[in-house]
Amino acid sequence: MKKIISLIFISLTLQSCIFAVGTAAGAAAVAAVYDHRKVEQVMKDQKIANNAIDAINAIPGIRNNDNHINVTTFNQVILLTGQVSTPELKQQVEEAAKASGDSKQVYNQLTVRGPISTLTRGSDAWITAKIKTEMLTMKDLKSSSIKVVTENGAVYLMGIVNHEQAENAVDIAREVAGVQKVVRVFQYEDNT
């Protein structure tokens, strides 16, 4: 169990942050341990993320200290989280992500404000680890099909689930201390 928690913590610290060189590849390697999708789909998601990161990095002025952008992909869906300095930049980032490749959809959850503190990022990592750990203990949840992203106390749940699994995942996330809100970015495998 200690090894699982360590790997979860490592995967949390290896988020696909735009300004961290090589981090996306490390996150993909760690995520593959727990992701039971086909390797081709995992690699396709990583390519989509890398293309979106490259397109976003090409935006003039994006690399200043007032911007912190995370790109997360799951099953060809892109989730943008973090902070940008202007509403115009928020729109440019979304357009760059959409134009970058094979994504089915882009969810733009960027906020217009200064970057969050290192302390808040640490708290977010703890929230994500706690949620993932709780999900591992719930029978029939298929937690390997759910990606958890936390940004400034907001928890984003991505993945391929049925409606019951979605409700269970949301309930788990809501119970964790420090969670401000829970946002569903699920794709549903059933029609109920």
Confidence band for 82, pLDDT divided at 50, 70 and 90: very high
In degrees and rounded to multiples of 5, residue 115 shows phi and psi of -60, 150
CA atoms of 20 and 9, how far apart (whole Å): 17
pLDDT per residue over 101-135, tens digit each? Answer: 889 999 999 999 999 999 999 999 999 999 999 99
Reference 52, options 105, 111, 99, 104; nearest CA is 99
- Per the DSSP assignment, residues forming a β-bridge with 74 are 77
pLDDT per residue over 44-77, tens digit each? Answer: 999 999 999 999 999 998 988 789 999 999 999 9
| Residue 37 structure tokens | 């999708």
CA atoms of 24 and 29, how far apart (whole Å): 9
| Angle between the N-to-C axes of helices 39-57 and 23-34, in degrees from 0 to 180, rounded to the nearest 10 | 160
CA atoms of 150 and 14, how far apart (whole Å): 13
Assess whether pLDDT exceeds 70 at residue 149. Answer: yes
- The domain segmentation of the chain, as residue ranges, is 1-192
Reference 103, options 55, 59, 39; nearest CA is 55
The string of DSSP letters for 53-97 reads HHHHHTSTTTTSTT-EEEEEEETTEEEEEEEES-HHHHHHHHHHH
DSSP H stretches of helix in 14-66:
23-34, 39-57
Q: How many CA atoms lie within 13 A of 99 on its CB side?
A: 11
pLDDT of residue 144: 82
